[in-house]
């Protein structure tokens, strides 16, 4: 397959965002679309009890990969922003087109029915990533291995006493881990999180349901990056969301 991905609005806008005087954001209006050539070979096999295995080998070549680029402010840039309370040691974050990014690896997924009402789906991905990028005369190329894993487990009670409050209770646990991954100027840090939900079917013919869920049980999900360059070293951490609890009721008419 061959796919195209065009720059997003915030990656193109030339205006400088100084909400954080230490980490300034600016788009690059000269960005070009990136093109990805992908080759993937799959093999699937179904076992008894509807268990299924899926294995895949893939290779992806992305030309002009849109990637983040960071550097310290030049003296001219600092003078231009002197009246904006910007720190002289601030980092200017923008985007560039890398020459190419090559990814290759293997994906393994198993859907296994352990018991009548218990099913697990573990998956594993091992990949190798090579980035070829330059910013002027600066070589930003990097390469390395990375891996990720995910587990989904589902269980539903089926008691002889159908009127029991514990009958038709569904439980789901989802957990995932991503190892550190190379980027042009450093690496992304590991990420891991787990979600849990319990669902109770209600009324005749299960027309209603009540679901209680917890996102990010251990409050561990965060996004981290280390930039290790010749001109600066920086570690950044951020959260897309905090741990949350949700109670949902639904009814089918």
DSSP state, 10?
A: H
CB 137 within 8 A of CB 127: no
Tell me how far the alpha carbon of residue 15 is from its chain's centroid.
Answer: 27
What is the per-residue pLDDT across 151-183, written as a single tens digit (0 to 9) for each? Answer: 999 999 887 777 777 888 899 999 999 999 999
Tell the residue number behind the tokens 């002289």, with chain if given. Answer: 88
Over residues 108-127, mean pLDDT: 93
Over residues 34-50, mean pLDDT: 93
Res 33: pLDDT: 97
CB 91 within 8 A of CB 18: no
Question: Could you give the CA distance from residue 95 to residue 138 in angstroms, rounded to a whole number?
Answer: 15
* Own/partner pairs, 13-18, CB within 8 angstroms, 24+ separation: 16/81, 18/81, 18/84, 18/85, 18/86
What is the per-residue pLDDT across 195-208, written as a single tens digit (0 to 9) for each? Answer: 999 999 888 877 88
User: CB-based contacts of 164: which residues, under 8 Å, 6+ apart?
Assistant: none
The answer for 60, left when phi > 0, alpha when psi is -120 to 50, beta otherwise, is beta
Res 83: pLDDT: 67
What is the per-residue pLDDT across 205-251, written as a single tens digit (0 to 9) for each? Answer: 778 899 999 999 998 888 899 998 888 898 988 887 889 999 999 99
């Amino acid at each position: 397959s061959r796919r195209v991905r065009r720059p997003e609005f915030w990656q193109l806008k030339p205006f400088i965002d100084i909400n954080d005087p230490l980490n300034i954001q600016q788009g690059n209006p000269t960005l070009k679309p990136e093109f990805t050539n992908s080759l993937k070979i799959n093999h699937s096999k179904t076992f008894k009890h509807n268990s299924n295995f899926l294995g895949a080998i893939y290779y992806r070549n992305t030309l002009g990969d849109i990637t983040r680029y960071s550097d310290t402010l030049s003296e001219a840039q600092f003078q231009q922003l002197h009246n904006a309370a910007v720190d002289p040691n601030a980092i200017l974050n923008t985007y560039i087109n890398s020459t190419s990014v090559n990814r290759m690896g293997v994906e393994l997924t198993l859907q296994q029915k352990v018991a009548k009402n218990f099913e697990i789906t573990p998956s594993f991905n091992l990949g190798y990533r090579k980035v070829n990028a330059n910013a002027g005369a600066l070589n930003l190329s990097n390469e390395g291995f990375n891996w990720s894993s995910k587990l989904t487990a589902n269980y539903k009670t089926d008691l002889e006493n159908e009127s029991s409050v514990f009958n038709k209770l569904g439980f789901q646990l989802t957990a995932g881990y991503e190892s550190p991954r190379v980027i042009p100027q450093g690496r992304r840090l590991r990420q891991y999180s787990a979600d849990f939900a319990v669902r109770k079917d209600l009324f005749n013919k299960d027309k209603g349901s009540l679901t209680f869920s917890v996102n990010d049980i251990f409050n561990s999900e965060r996004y981290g990056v280390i930039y290790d360059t010749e001109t600066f070293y920086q570690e950044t951490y951020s959260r897309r969301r905090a741990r949350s609890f949700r109670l949902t009721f639904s009814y089918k008419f």
